[in-house]
Structure 1
Amino acid sequence: NRHVLAFSGILRLILNSSPNSGSVISYSEELYDTYNQKQFFAKGIKIMIGVLLAVLLINFAFFTHYYKLAQETTETVLVNKSSLEDIGKIKQLPKAPCLLMKL
């Protein structure tokens, strides 16, 4: 048994033939292709998840920034509106002389 294994190793070295023959080669190639596809899709999924998370993070940053600007603008508009109402009330004061005498 040992002699046959050694003899086959020497023959393979001398003849430079492929180590496998028949359907084993096609099966090995099929396994290799399957492995490569699994690795490609596994890396692809990881990359796509990373890109998706990066896009969501950027979206969150921009949304937060512009939401704060909108809130500040709304507050400014409300302050200006109340100031205009106060100015309107002050302009009406001289028209009513009774109100001036009470003050």
Structure 2
Amino acid sequence: MLELLTGKVVTDPTSGFRACNKDAIDLFCKSYPDDYPEPESIALAMKLGLPVMEAPVKMNERQGGRSSIGGFSSVYYMINVTLAIVLVCWVHRGDK
């Protein structure tokens, strides 16, 4: 979805780790997404022309607990994330 709306490839838009430059910090201090911050913040940064890069990290398998996303909730999550990204891109369609 991000590639379709922004023209840029992001392989993992759901990872929570972020490193930001001053421009991104200024933006996110004023407007940081509440509902699905990881993919929405990437879409917002891309639509506003900020640099977005990915760096590989080693992820370890979950040691305990359960994911909050599974079964029907995974479908609900994907629909809502898609709508949130579309909305971010639509609201900022002419911004740069």
TM-score with structure 2 length normalisation?
0.25
TM-score with structure 1 length normalisation?
0.24
Structure whose residues are more often helix by fraction: 1
